[in-house]
């Protein structure tokens, strides 16, 4: 159904970001509450308007923009991520002297890029969404102008991101030469002729490299630790959830027709098998050596990208989306605890800074423990069910060896997650740093993420039903 109204979620965000920029440039509201109110209202409106199109299959631009059920779920997920990130940023940006106008506007543009990527089936439009996200992300990563690590993170992100984009553009050119189209539907019609086309195979490989950078697959992960550590903590939380979710959904749509034909299934699955195994092994092993918790969570994010790649191989859309939703609550919750350890513009994220946290702030220590246990995959948390669904589907399809690697690397991750808990509860030395344990908005976000982790772990039925309906509504190839 071709409806202009289906553009409303995207137009709300773009319009709100432009309004915030105008207020910042010509208004007298730069230090007031209006910017945050507009940003939060636009994200809420985006999610609500997107939900009204559930089951209608609306779109625009002759199918280039498609608001199907999966796109609606992802739009709601991105809006929720942006909403939570803004809430945890309110006190953080004041302490670090951020300009509210540029901060909120860039964040809304980044969310808009995520939505463009996941609501399109045209590779050029997907690339435009990716660049919208990337340009905003480069600036967001370097907002802490007084911090050399933040500037370094922004430069590294820009340089490596530009290199990944060049791979992606070159790959799109090769694909177009063979298929004469950028539409995923039209490209799927010529797959049978692509087996012996070196141009098509090279193009597809280059596109996979480009998106592998965005989702931090090994060996395209080198930017992740430095960017995560140097960027402002709320932005790091956003980077760990938003671009990863959009990248994996684009790969899901892209790989869906290519995993169907028997001729291309074996070669492609070997590549994905190797990428998944390397990502899980490298991410978890290197995380063992980290003493900075922010950097540790960066390598943890790399490892989880390996688990999500298993869902791509098996085309398990239900497990993929559920994993991404659970990951949103786990990661934003964990980074919210790190924000509580960032008083007066300083960040204390070394392992020793967590010493005795259970004595000083038992509520924060207990919440952090739940998030870490969920990331490790212990029941009855969302992380356990997410891994269970992905791994069980892989076993049924014959990927037992890869699942064994996934389980063993998950056991490795238990060590570095529990090491943080040991510092919080069992350390004899107690850190004397100040803790923002009385910030009501921050505590509300932490409680909401805690509720999401436990709710999805104990009572996932309704959410799984929605996800299953969305996946089943995809048109047959």
Percent of the chain with pLDDT over 70: 89
Q: Is the pTM of this model over 0.85?
A: yes
Nearest alpha-carbon partner for 237 in 100, 442, 43: 442
Residue 22 tokens read as 């105008």
Q: How far is the C-alpha of 356 from the C-alpha of 276, rounded, in Å?
A: 37
396 sits in which H/E element = helix 382-396
Chain segment 167-186, per-residue pLDDT in tens: 888 888 888 887 777 777 77
182 Cα distance to chain centroid: 25
Q: Hey, is 379 helix, strand or coil?
A: coil
Beta bridge partners of 2: 59
Minimum mean pLDDT range among 55-59, 150-154, 335-339: 55-59
Average pLDDT over residues 355-383: 88
Domain range annotation of the chain: 262-477
Do residues 301 and 228 make contact, with C-beta atoms less than 8 angstroms apart? yes
Residue 120's SS3 state is strand
What pLDDT, on a 0 to 100 scale, did the predictor assign at position 260?
A: 54
* Assigned token pair, 360: 């000083």
Ranges assigned E (strand) in 319-415: none
Structure tokens at 119: 């609501």
How far is Cα 402 from Cα 404, in angstroms, rounded to an integer?
Answer: 5
- Tens-place pLDDT, residues 402-426: 999 999 999 999 999 999 898 888 8
């Amino acid at each position: 159904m071709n409806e202009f109204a289906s553009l409303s979620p995207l137009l709300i965000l773009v319009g709100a970001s432009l309004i915030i920029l105008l207020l910042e440039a010509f208004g007298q509201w730069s230090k007031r509450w209006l910017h945050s109110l507009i940003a939060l209202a636009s994200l809420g409106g985006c999610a609500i308007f997107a939900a009204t199109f559930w089951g209608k299959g609306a779109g625009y631009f002759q199918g280039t923009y498609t608001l199907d059920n999966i796109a609606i779920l992802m739009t709601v997920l991105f809006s929720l991520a942006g909403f939570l990130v803004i809430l945890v940023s309110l006190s953080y940006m004041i302490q670090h002297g951020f300009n509210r106008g540029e901060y909120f506007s860039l964040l809304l543009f980044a969310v808009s890029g995520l939505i463009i990527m996941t609501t399109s089936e045209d590779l050029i439009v997907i690339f435009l969404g990716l660049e919208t996200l990337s340009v905003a992300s480069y600036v967001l990563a370097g907002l802490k102008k007084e911090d050399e690590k933040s500037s370094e993170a922004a430069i590294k992100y820009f340089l490596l991101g530009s290199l990944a984009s060049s791979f992606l553009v070159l790959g799109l050119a090769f694909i177009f030469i063979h298929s004469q189209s950028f539409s995923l539907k039209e490209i799927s019609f010529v797959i049978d002729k692509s087996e012996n086309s070196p141009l098509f195979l090279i193009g597809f490989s280059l596109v996979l490299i480009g998106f592998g950078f965005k989702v931090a697959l090994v060996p395209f992960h080198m930017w992740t630790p430095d960017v995560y550590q140097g960027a402002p903590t709320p932005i790091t939380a956003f980077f760990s959830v938003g671009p990863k979710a959009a990248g994996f959904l684009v790969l899901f749509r892209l790989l869906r027709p290519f995993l169907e034909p028997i001729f291309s299934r074996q070669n492609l699955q070997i590549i994905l098998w190797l990428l998944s195994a390397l990502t899980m092994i490298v991410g978890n092993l290197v995380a063992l050596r980290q003493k900075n918790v922010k950097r540790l969570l960066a390598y943890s994010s790399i490892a989880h990208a390996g688990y999500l790649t298993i869902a791509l191989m098996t085309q398990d859309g239900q497990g993929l989306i559920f994993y991404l939703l659970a990951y949103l609550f786990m990661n934003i919750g964990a980074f919210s605890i790190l924000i509580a350890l960032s008083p007066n513009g300083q960040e204390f994220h070394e392992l020793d800074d967590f010493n005795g946290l259970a004595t000083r702030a038992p509520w924060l220590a207990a919440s952090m423990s739940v998030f870490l246990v969920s990331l490790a995959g212990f029941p009855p948390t969302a992380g356990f069910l997410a891994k269970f669904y992905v791994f069980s589907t892989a076993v049924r399809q014959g990927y037992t060896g890869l699942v064994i690697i996934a389980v063993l690397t998950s056991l490795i991750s238990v060590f570095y997650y529990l090491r943080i808990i040991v510092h919080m509860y069992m350390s004899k030395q107690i850190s004397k740093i100040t803790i923002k344990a009385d910030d009501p908005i921050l505590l509300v976000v932490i409680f909401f993420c805690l509720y999401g982790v436990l709710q999805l772990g104990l009572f996932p039925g309704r959410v799984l039903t929605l996800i299953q309906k969305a996946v089943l509504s995809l048109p047959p190839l």
